[in-house]
């Protein structure tokens, strides 16, 4: 981004209690949730649909700390130091499992599936047979339907102090999707200061799959206000225009000369209110960017918090990136700090295949066949502006 950055490897954060889901006694009282707040781990102990929820805490060797819950396979908090070394929670979330259950925004930090993003009218065909998934974003299906993966209790296993594994059997015809889909998501904090996600799945019937994570970020810290002055760069010469229901119109278009041109760093807010039909359709940015040729070793997007100096680089094996600027946040939920989720106080960078791909034959296929393994990885790397 034509700036100098330094790694966080010498900056240490306070340690957090490590909680392995099924092997911990109730005397593990507290887990650090933010730089200023402590919450009992018991706040994440609850039985939902006959399964037990838990809190898991991960830490890398540099002291970066994250917490997760198996309710929705979610990231709850992510503490990284800002340019002054202050621990900063850059992920929006709640201080209890009930907060996630009752939230008017279903996707905070969640693992998304069976199909991330939208499917037009919930309909798609596989080998000529039409399937109907549940409609939860009328007239479309969004993020897997009414009871997507964000609302189920995953089986959780803490592999080590920096890795947690979530598994889930998505049964045949759940939310209208064919095939028993065995899903595994492994979240880890690497010693390169990366929040890493590895997604795997197998099926016994041909189906469609598009997995991602829906972390809501604010690099100035949760509760710090708008994200409009965050600086964004996206390595995409093209994006996918959508209709008023956010379904792709079909053609892929150039970003050049539009408010969607983030080839060079630009603030989120500079053009977000331009007189542009696509911005009106999304009520801001809520569009899939067609990433330029890349591999997992090359960042495809970079975001810098204007106040904190925290830099986040996004890496992925996926062909697309859904950039969402918090346009539907309505201040209806109190987050970990007690601050409401006000309009445009977070953003998302969802690595994924394109929306409505099952109905758009020109897009990369999202079909998964029996005997094949769906596997993809994405990561978010943190440092600070020098």
Q: Mind telling me the catalytic residues?
A: 214, 350
Cβ–Cβ under 8 Å, residues 174 and 143? no
Q: Whose CA is closest to 139, among 289, 364, 356? A: 356
92 vs 74: CA distance, rounded Å: 11
- Phi first, then psi: give them for residue 121, nearest 5 degrees: 55, 15
Helix, strand counts (H, E) of the chain: 2, 31
**Cβ(110)–Cβ(213) under 8 Å?**
yes
Buried b (16+ CB within 10 A) or exposed e, 30-47: ebbbbbeeebbbebbbbe
Q: Is 312 helix (H, G, I), strand (E, B) or coil?
A: strand
- Name every residue whose Cβ is closer than 8 Å to that of residue 371 and which is 6 or more positions away in sequence: none
Can you name the residues that pair with 140 across neighbouring β-strands? 137
Distance CA 21, CA 94 (A): 19
Cα(166)–Cα(164) distance, rounded to whole angstroms? Answer: 7
Query: How many residues does the structure list for the chain?
Result: 386
| 101 phi/psi in degrees, rounded to 5 | -60, -45
């Amino acid at each position: 981004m034509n700036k100098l950055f330094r790694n966080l490897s010498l900056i240490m954060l306070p340690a957090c209690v490590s909680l392995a889901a099924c092997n911990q006694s109730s005397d593990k009282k507290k887990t650090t949730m933010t730089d200023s707040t402590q919450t009992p781990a018991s706040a994440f102990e609850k039985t939902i649909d006959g399964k037990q929820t838990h809190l898991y805490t991960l830490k890398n060797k540099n002291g970066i700390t994250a917490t997760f819950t198996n309710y929705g396979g979610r990231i709850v908090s992510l503490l990284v130091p800002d340019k002054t070394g202050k621990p900063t929670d850059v992920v929006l979330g709640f201080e209890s499992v009930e907060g996630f259950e009752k939230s008017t925004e279903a996707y905070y930090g969640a693992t998304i599936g069976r199909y991330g993003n939208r499917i037009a009218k919930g309909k798609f065909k596989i080998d000529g047979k039409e399937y109907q998934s549940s409609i939860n974003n009328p007239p479309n299906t969004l993020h897997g339907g009414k009871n997507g993966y964000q609302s189920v209790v995953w089986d959780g296993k803490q592999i080590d102090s920096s890795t947690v594994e979530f598994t889930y059997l998505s049964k045949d015809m759940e939310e209208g999707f064919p095939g028993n889909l065995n899903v595994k998501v492994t979240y880890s904090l690497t010693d390169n200061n990366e929040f890493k996600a590895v997604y795997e799945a197998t099926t016994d019937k041909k189906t469609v799959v598009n997995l991602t994570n829906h972390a809501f970020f604010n690099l100035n810290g949760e509760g710090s206000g708008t994200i409009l002055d965050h600086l964004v760069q996206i390595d995409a010469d093209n994006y996918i225009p959508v209709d008023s229901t956010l379904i792709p119109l079909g053609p892929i278009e150039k970003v050049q000369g539009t408010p969607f041109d983030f080839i060079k760093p630009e603030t989120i807010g500079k053009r977000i209110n331009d007189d542009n039909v696509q911005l009106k359709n999304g009520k801001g940015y809520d569009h899939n960017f067609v990433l330029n040729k890349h591999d997992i070793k090359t960042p495809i997007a970079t975001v810098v918090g204007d106040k904190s100096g925290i830099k986040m680089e996004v890496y992925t094996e996926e062909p697309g990136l859904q950039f969402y600027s918090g346009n539907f946040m309505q201040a209806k939920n109190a987050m970990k700090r007690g601050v409401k989720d006000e309009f445009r106080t977070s953003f998302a960078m969802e690595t994924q295949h394109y929306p409505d791909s099952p109905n758009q034959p020109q897009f990369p296929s999202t079909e998964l066949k029996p005997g094949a393994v769906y596997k993809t990885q994405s990561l978010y790397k943190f440092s600070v502006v020098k």
